[in-house]
Amino acid sequence: MSEIKIYRIIGNYNKNHRKYLFRKEVRALKEEDALEKVISQITSIGIYRRQINIQEVNEITLDESQDYLIRELSE
């Protein structure tokens, strides 16, 4: 059976000639699922997929997570 992992995704996007950095933590079974979840969250504010640049995708442990909701759901 698969185990749910925690991923930290760091990247940036351009909006109105400004560059915005984002850092998201999500729970997913695979890296591809985590990436798709983050991209869908960002595109919901009117950003196109081509405007998003993903810099790194890392699997992290529960202790490294900074998101309170992720920590509570994972315990």
What is the spatial distance between Cα 62 and Cα 47, in angstroms, rounded to a whole number?
30
Q: What is the predicted pLDDT for the residue at 1? A: 61
* Beta carbons within 10 angstroms of residue 27's beta carbon: 17
Predicted local distance difference test score (pLDDT) of residue 28: 94
CATH number for domain 5-74, candidates 3.40.50.2000, 1.20.1300.10, 3.10.20.10, 3.40.50.800: 3.10.20.10
Q: What CA–CA distances, in Å, run from 49 to 31, 36, 41, 53, 69?
A: 17, 10, 11, 9, 26
pLDDT digits (tens, 9 = 90+) for 14-64: 988 999 999 999 999 999 999 999 999 999 988 999 999 999 999 999 989
Whether the per-residue pLDDT at 74 is higher than 90: the answer is no
Specify the pLDDT at position 45. Answer: 87
pLDDT of residue 53: 95
